[in-house]
Amino acid sequence: MTAPAIPNSGGLADVLNVLLDKGLVIDASVRVSLIGIEILAIDIKVVIASVDTYIRYLEAMQRLEAVRRGMSAPPVSQGIGGTYGLLASAVPAVVTPAMVAPTPIAVPTQAEEPQQ
Amino acid sequence: MSLRLHGVVRARHRWPDGSPFRLIVVDDLAVVVSDHHSELTEQDATANLAGLCALLLAGPVLPLRIGTVAVDEEAARAAVLALTVPALRAHLERLDGLAEMHVRLAFDEETALRAVFDEGAFTGGGRDLASTIGRGEQIAQAVAAWRGKQADALLAPVSALSRSVAMLDAREHTEDLRAFLVPLDQAEAVRTAVAGFDGVVATCTGPLPAFHFLDLAPQPVSRWGW
């Protein structure tokens, strides 16, 4: 039998956020009497973009429905980052370009300020 | 100098070369520690986890909560005693030869949405933003249910190799993340099975200490002895 390979650091970094609140914990009441036992926090960034996802899903359903009826499909949605008519772009970093088909989206140009 | 506490092993645990840790023996157990110099970073935590994974190949490891720190060796010993030595001993016995493997399946969003659409449950849009979000949430639940069924079917061979399974929170509705408790000598078989999945982006991480299969609560003992 060959020994299993130790996971690489890239894979471990991916699973770290689901392990942070796991593992044995010294009971809180005991920790008080054990001077100097503490749990440090690690700053792990988790992006939660539920609303963005919900809107993207609904728009995808509308697109599929339009295709089924032979109507012209609405533009491909990109959630909050590029959604059409629901919310202004707020979290562009959430958009995953690989997940959406690149469709030209009309970007309104800013009206020029009148010269004083 | 304060210490980071990483896990509990048997005192006779065979020590791998180049381990960043050292042991503090408590009875027939030992707490795995390293020096704590500064604030715990993500890189530190990942490196510590890699060290624990290396220890796992030589015997069972009960991981402590990541980021546990003790001011000195005496506090580290007291921490192990607080967890109660007999319970730790029993869990080392239970987890001997076992490891946790994480499998993440990322399904294609368009495929998932089309499958949900084909079920015919969702047409039209919301009247306002709140109802739009509400309908989107219902679609997300349907996507998650579809994903769960797909994952159940794909992961059946992995489940068959496992002693236990824990469902974990994935980041997306189209993603499925599970922890499998498998015999250490089946870890490569799990990896091979996952590598063979078609139609989904599948990743497998492990063997890891059994973070999701620790339960130090007393097990009910049958009055009949089994």
Say whether pLDDT at B193 is over 70: yes
Q: Which of residues 167-206 of B touch A (CB under 8 A)?
A: 168-169, 171-173, 177, 184-185, 187-188, 191, 203, 205-206
**Kind of pairing between the strands at B3-10 and B68-70:** antiparallel
Strands of chain A (E only): list them.
Answer: 38-39
**3-class DSSP assignment, residue B5:** strand
Whole-number average pLDDT of chain B: 89
Mean of the pLDDT values across residues B78-86? 89
pLDDT at position B6: 94
CA-based nearest residue to B178, from B94, B105, B97, B99: B105
Task: Outline where B9-162 has alpha helix (H).
Answer: 42-56, 73-82, 85-94, 109-118, 129-154, 156-161
Q: Would the CB atoms of A4 and B67 count as touching at under 8 Å?
A: no
Q: Quick check: B1 and B45 in contact, CB under 8 A? A: no
Say whether pLDDT at B221 is over 50: no
pTM for this structure? 0.78
Probe site for chain A from B65, B98, B216 (most A CB atoms < 10 A): B65
For the question of an ipTM over 0.85, the answer is no
Mean of the pLDDT values across residues B164-190? 94
Mean of the pLDDT values across residues B100-123? 89
Class in CATH terms, B99-208: alpha beta
Say whether pLDDT at A3 is over 80: no
Q: Which residues of B43-54 are buried (b: 16+ CB within 10 A; e: fewer)?
A: ebbbebbbbbbb
pLDDT at position A40: 76
Residue among A1, A58, A87 minimizing CB distance to B135: A58
Tell me which chain B residues have a C-beta less than 8 angstroms from the C-beta of A16: 42, 45-46, 49, 66
Percent of chain A scored above 90 by pLDDT?
A: 0
CA-based nearest residue to B80, from B132, B172, B182, B9: B9
Domain ranges of chain B: 2-96, 99-208
